[in-house]
Structure 1
Amino acid sequence: MQILQYLKNNPYQGLFFSSQNDLSLRAFCDSDWGSCPISRKSTTGYCVFLGSSLISWRTKRQKTISLSSAEAGYRTMTGACCELSWLRSPLKDLKILHSKATLLYCDNKASLHIASNPVFHEAEYVPSGERIADVFTKPSGKEAFLTMKSKLGVRDIQSPT
């Protein structure tokens, strides 16, 4: 109901895609370990940016029960990596090539240690307050929500730029 109320009260929110963009691909991910009080399944959340523009996001209950926050975080990182891998293909078709590793930001240090094989992927720790993907998995106050909304690139499309 809160989401519907927000959408009703903010009908002109949208994403702005700037022509001044570096076209680097990066993602932020987060999980909420065992957040469902009935099934004890965790929630996955991630968002993907092309430069400063949000191009993909997902929030989903994980299919299996994770035995630790590290496992839940690793599953979330896996989903985000799959999305990043898939996105590189259509971007390549559009002649947007990525010679450097795509960055994945995560707040779970244990998950990062599990994923620390630099041959296949690269991930970095994100400190509290900079965790953009938290908006997909955790409730937040109005000020934190507005900050995260701004970081996601959601703007009032009817207001002057």
Structure 2
Amino acid sequence: MQAPQKAHWDAAIRILRYLKSAPGKGLIYRPNRHMDLVAYSDADWAGSASDQRSTTGYCTFVGGNLVWWHSKKQTTIARSSAKAEYREMAHSTAELMWLRSLLLEMGLLVSKPMKIFCDNQTVICITSNPVYHERTKHIEVDCHFVRDAVMKKLVETPFVSSSGQLTDVLTKSLFAHNFRLCCNKLSMGDLYAPA
């Protein structure tokens, strides 16, 4: 906003073209028999060419339906991909715990552990392995927050391959085919598409 360039104008026009070409695009919500809380968490480490900051994102599902998504450039520079991803996993954990307490207030019991899918093996190991503590001092608060939720069996952190990572659409530039695939997995549909 302070110093607009032609590249910013081109990006805005591209977004408007996309919106005009898909007037019926939206999220499709389907009834399910479960109230499982699931999140996908990801970070694009040092993805910004201008300042080397990571773009992080997560999406949260309740009963298989997408209810919340978030994408943001991190305010500090992460010195490793694990640090960037772990910071986002802490945000995802906080979001899931808030959703769980909201559902409990509404009288809906969430009995299964909540799942946060992550495509970084190092981050998954840090959540359950206290030996990593000395190597992870710079992310100590986030580390203890997520590890505490894992130890209390409130959260599980299963691995998801990069091809199954739904938040890539929020954190990375994708080819058209991969973009459409992620949108389909996020339950985006076209109301005007022929049945």
- TM-score for both structures, normalised by structure 1: 0.92
Per-residue CA deviations over 1:3-58 (Å, capped at 9, x if unaligned) read: 33212211111111112342211000110001112221111111011122100000
Preserved contact between residue 107 and residue 127 of structure 1 (Cα < 8 Å):
yes
Q: CA deviation at 1:112?
A: 1.1
In structure 2, the residue matched to 1:6 is 18
In structure 1, the residue matched to 2:188 is 154
Report the identity percentage.
38
Preserved contact between residue 32 and residue 64 of structure 2 (Cα < 8 Å):
no
Structure that is richer in strand per residue = 1
Q: CA deviation at 1:76?
A: 1.0
Q: AA paired with 1:18?
A: R
2:68 is the counterpart of 1:56: yes
Larger Rg: 2
In structure 1, the residue matched to 2:37 is 25
**RMSD, aligned α-carbons:** 1.5
Distance 1:157 1:73 in 2: 35
1:27 counterpart SS class: strand
Q: CA deviation at 1:107?
A: 0.5
2:42 counterpart SS class: strand
Match among 158, 161, 171 for residue 124 of structure 1: 158
**Structure 2 unpaired stretches of 5+:** 1-10, 129-146
The ranges of structure 1 where at least 4 consecutive aligned residues each deviate by more than 4 angstroms after the TM superposition are none
In structure 1, the residue matched to 2:139 is none
Q: CA deviation at 1:160?
A: 5.8
**Structure 1 unpaired stretches of 5+:** none
The count of aligned residue pairs is 161
Per-residue CA deviations over 1:80-131 (Å, capped at 9, x if unaligned) read: 1111111112211222211121000000111111112431432011113111
Distance 1:17 1:93 in 2: 22
Match among 157, 164, 176 for residue 142 of structure 1: 176
In structure 2, the residue matched to 1:39 is 51
In structure 2, the residue matched to 1:68 is 80
Distance 1:15 1:21 in 2: 19
Q: AA paired with 1:151?
A: K
Alignment of 1:54-133 (within 5 A): 54-116=66-128, 117=147, 118-120=150-152, 121-133=155-167
Structure that is richer in helix per residue = 2
Distance 2:101 2:109 in 1: 9
